[in-house]
Each structure stands twice: as structure tokens, then as C-alpha cells.
Amino acid sequence: MFVITADQVGSRKGPDIVAAALDTLNRRYRSRLELPVDRNAGDEIQALTADAAAALDLVLELTRDGVWSVGLGCGSIRTPLPAETREASGDAFIAAREAVTRAKRAPTRFAAHALVAPRAADDAAAVLALLLTLREGRSPAGWELYDLVSTGLTQAEAGARLGITPQSASDRARAAGLRTELAAIGPLTRLLESLDDAQLNQGA
């Protein structure tokens, strides 16, 4: 099981963005979560999912704009589940707490941790950090193309939607590292699945 704990960056100096984030994330991910995304303590949010792909998607979304420190924890969860995420407990929540603390000191503002098989969590975090670093250098124009391609449009279709030529779309995609990111999603998801499996195998 995966827990994502995200702490708002600079919350004492800026507006509270937790409520808006909860609304957006629950609308987009609710069917892929065990419980709704919840406010934890003050300016923190927490999400709980058994789906490695959903965990990766949440990490990528929350790290996109640099407004959250994001910790990914993997491990067991105490059952039966309560009605709200903030009332749940287990190794994954402890690991996510450690991860978000590390994330506040990390260049990408992301970290992952697991109490069982921590090396597997470190490996997944290291590879994911490479993708996050690539994304940090993406221009607004690159993100504009990414947002269209990620809906299922081809690169040419996205370029046409933006009113640019296929060559311009190709140049923009190359500069944005879109193919690199799309190619990395499957392997990263499998790394997280392996991390989750390790919790069961070594924790037994």
C-alpha cells in the first residue's frame, strides 16, 4: 500500500492551498484511492492507494509546480480502514512521514521510504528524482504540449490543437523531454509495484 504525504511549501507566508488541492485530487483520483485525499495537520494532505500507477501520478502532479514537499511511503496498513485517511495508521504512514521530512531537504522536494526493504524505496526514489529533474526544466510551452499529449492526443494532433506545425511540435516535445518521460512511466510503475511486493514478501 502507498501513502503520499504532501506538506505545503511556505504555508506561513502564502495562502492555504490545501482545500483547492483536496477538491482537485479527489475529483481526479477518487476511483483509484482507498479513501478520499484528506487534510492531515494544518497544511498537509494525505492520500492512500493500493495502485502503484496512481501513486506515481499523484507524485508527478504534486511535484509539478514546486508548491509541495512530497513524501511517498510504502508498507502495511492497519485494517479495517477508518472512514477518513487522517485516522488510518500503519507502516506506510510512518514511512510517508519520514519521506516528507526528507523531501523538505531534497532538491526535487520528493523522497520515498519504506520500513521494510528500504533499499528498494531508495532505488525507486533515485530513478524518479531523475524524471522530476527533467520536468523542472520544462518550459510553459513544453507543459502546454505535455498536457495535450497526456490526454491521449498524438504529438501531431496536439500540435494542430496549438496551431503549430508538426516540426514545431516535434522540436517542442524534444526540448520538453516528452518521449523520455512517457518511456519512463511504465518502468517507474513497475519499480513501485516491486517495492510494494517487497513489503509483503519480507514482512511475512
From the list 75, 94, 66, the residue with the least C-alpha distance to 7 is 66
Residue 21 CB-half CA count within 13 A: 25
Q: pLDDT grade, residue 202 (50/70/90)? A: low
- Encode pLDDT of 47-67 as tens digits: 999 999 999 999 999 999 999
Mean pLDDT (the chain) is 94
d(CA 46, CA 96): 9
From the list 142, 123, 116, the residue with the least C-alpha distance to 196 is 116
- Encode pLDDT of 162-201 as tens digits: 999 999 999 999 999 999 999 999 999 999 999 999 987 7
- Burial environment of residue 68 by CB neighbours within 10 A (0 to 12, 13 to 18, 19 or more): buried
**Assigned C-alpha cell, 122:** 531508495
- Encode pLDDT of 7-46 as tens digits: 999 767 777 899 999 999 999 999 999 999 999 877 899 9
Question: Phi/psi at 170 (nearest 5 deg)?
Answer: -65, -45
- Encode pLDDT of 126-175 as tens digits: 999 999 999 999 999 999 999 999 999 999 999 999 999 999 999 999 99
Domain boundaries, the chain: 2-138+177-203
CATH placement of domain 2-138+177-203? 3.30.70
